[in-house]
Structure 1
Amino acid sequence: MEKQKKQETKTRIAAIGDIHVRETDAGKWTDFFKEVSSQADVLLLCGDLTDTGREAEAEILAKELKACSIPVIGVLGNHDYDKDEQEAIRKALISEDVHILDGSSVVIGDVGFAGVKGFGGGFDKGMLSMFGEPMMKAFVQEAVDESLKLDGALARLDSDYNDLKKIVLLHYAPIKATVVGEPEQIFPFLGSSRLAEPLNRRGVIAAFHGHAHIGSLESETSYGVKVFNVSKPVLIQEGYDPCFYLLEV
């Protein structure tokens, strides 16, 4: 008797970054989250969830997310750290169906999601090296640490699960191509090639980031891993309405 092949399931992933929720945004996002829920199986939020890094803004977002009937996975961005209230923001958002990742992961169906904020440092031949003043070394070390955290999260997915599709969430960019459009002088503050190393090493299908508001929507790493800049301004510029990117894996 011929053995039947296991039916492959598809997961629809919606993604957006840089939503910059304000304290005056009550009711603004309800329809958006309902629409996302009707089209996708999971929503990714790629950092800068709040506008000025205040806990009160996160509390508004948490209320708006109640309109979302699908799992939500997010990472924090640089704006979320601005007032040093990042832990309060994280706690305000986390619930049974909302996961805020920081060197951690979550599995939904046959897809494993790993996430970190990431950091700057530049790309390719322009990437900063661990040299010079202690302040410069500390800047570079932050990018190294974020890359190691991401690699660790992906490694744990590999060790705990078989045949898992892997997706990565970031705020900062892992490649230069998706920040092109921004002034080249600020590229070192928009991301780091160090973040691409775990993507290539761990067989990731795709990575999503934000942060570069006038960057480019889509490219790939040197190993062919798809990378999407889903910053809200980029999606608007590309004509996405409703304003999210949808990928089926």
Structure 2
Amino acid sequence: MAKTTTEDSAAQPPQKSNGKQKIAAMGDLHVKENGGSSYKELFAEISQAADILVLTGDLTDLGKPKEAELLAADMRSCSIPIVAVLGNHDYECGHVEEVKSIIKDAGVQLLEGQAVEINGVGFAGVKGFAGGFGRYMLGSFGEPAIKAMVAESVEETMRLENALRQVRSERAMVVLHYAPIPETVVGEPQEIYPFLGSSRLAETIDRFPVSAVVHGHAHRGTYEGKTPGGAPVYNVASHIEKPTGRPYALLEL
């Protein structure tokens, strides 16, 4: 298992390192249709600081194609490979296929249960889903609606397992939107924990040699934790305070 470290920030963006890959990870951009916020300068900064950019979902605010187009335009300032998964907000308007097409056409490796290797690092990604953690995890019992929710959670977990089976690199990063552990959602109201992630994801992760896990979704969560098996987990939602002092984390694999 490769060692993962976080990088402290300086006045200038950190310089790229030799040998290991420096990965910038950020989630929950929530690009809006009115174009009020631009990520052009941030993407250009990340291109100088990292070798690969990972985006952990909620790329758009309401899942509108116009929002995806604005993000795609900003991505032109990013000169390094981009890997991403979608989040729940990207499904909101029912135009997810259009959003996916726009993001992919911008050159992004969009993971939906697949794996991709870039510069010797394997990335396995899914959106993930809700369901709760540990002994409070929702079971498939009762009304059809509850069973359907649990089935969705299990399906996303199976897709993650299939993606991890495709990874051949010794260094592997799991990319999610929903959290696999409760530690990185601490700070959110406990009442909504079941809607922020699922332990099923961590159970799958711990069956494979994973170097790091990144997710978003929990805007008021906690930056760092570990799966029961010891895999480092980072909540990289742009709202979370990180060692870089920037909206993105820097992880070295």
Please give the TM-score of this superposition, normalised by the length of structure 1.
0.91
C-alpha contact (below 8 Å) 2:239/2:247 kept by paired residues: no
The answer to whether residue 57 in structure 2 is matched with residue 47 in structure 1 is yes
Unaligned runs of 5+ in 2: 1-17
* Secondary structure in 2 matching 1:233: coil
**Separation of aligned partners in 2, 1:127 and 1:168:** 21
Deviations 1:150-206 (A, max 9, x none): 00011022xxx3x43110110000000000110000000000000112210011111
* Secondary structure in 1 matching 2:185: coil
**Separation of aligned partners in 2, 1:45 and 1:212:** 14
Residue 142 of structure 1: how far off its partner (Å): 0.6
**Separation of aligned partners in 1, 2:229 and 2:105:** 35
The answer to whether residue 214 in structure 2 is matched with residue 208 in structure 1 is yes
C-alpha contact (below 8 Å) 1:17/1:210 kept by paired residues: yes
The residue number in structure 1 matching 2:180 is 174
Residue 144 of structure 1: how far off its partner (Å): 0.4
**Separation of aligned partners in 2, 1:114 and 1:186:** 26
**Separation of aligned partners in 1, 2:106 and 2:58:** 21
**Separation of aligned partners in 1, 2:132 and 2:175:** 19
Q: Return the letter of the residue paired with 1:80.
A: D
C-alpha contact (below 8 Å) 2:121/2:173 kept by paired residues: yes
Name the structure, 1 or 2, with higher relative contact order (CA <8 Å, separation 6+): 2
Residue 53 of structure 1: how far off its partner (Å): 1.0
C-alpha contact (below 8 Å) 1:32/1:242 kept by paired residues: no
The residue number in structure 2 matching 1:193 is 199
Residue 96 of structure 1: how far off its partner (Å): 6.9
The residue number in structure 2 matching 1:99 is 109
**Separation of aligned partners in 2, 1:240 and 1:87:** 34
Unaligned runs of 5+ in 1: 1-7
Q: Return the letter of the residue paired with 2:217.
A: H
* Secondary structure in 2 matching 1:94: helix
Q: Return the letter of the residue paired with 2:251.
A: L
C-alpha contact (below 8 Å) 1:219/1:228 kept by paired residues: yes
Residue 111 of structure 1: how far off its partner (Å): 0.5
**Separation of aligned partners in 1, 2:192 and 2:164:** 29
**Separation of aligned partners in 2, 1:247 and 1:125:** 31
The residue number in structure 1 matching 2:88 is 78
Distance verdict in 2 for CA 1:231–1:27, change over 3 Å: closer
How many residues are treated as equivalent by the alignment? 236
C-alpha contact (below 8 Å) 2:243/2:249 kept by paired residues: no
The residue number in structure 2 matching 1:232 is 238
* Secondary structure in 1 matching 2:193: helix
**Separation of aligned partners in 1, 2:127 and 2:173:** 14
**Separation of aligned partners in 2, 1:25 and 1:241:** 24
The residue number in structure 1 matching 2:25 is 15
The answer to whether residue 232 in structure 2 is matched with residue 248 in structure 1 is no
Residue 234 of structure 1: how far off its partner (Å): 1.0
Residue 26 of structure 1: how far off its partner (Å): 7.0
The residue number in structure 2 matching 1:121 is 131
**Separation of aligned partners in 1, 2:133 and 2:37:** 39
C-alpha contact (below 8 Å) 1:70/1:97 kept by paired residues: no
* Root mean square deviation, CA, Å: 1.5
C-alpha contact (below 8 Å) 2:23/2:53 kept by paired residues: yes
**Separation of aligned partners in 1, 2:192 and 2:244:** 26
Larger radius of gyration: 1
The answer to whether residue 179 in structure 2 is matched with residue 164 in structure 1 is no
Deviations 1:109-151 (A, max 9, x none): 1100010000000000100111111110110111100000000
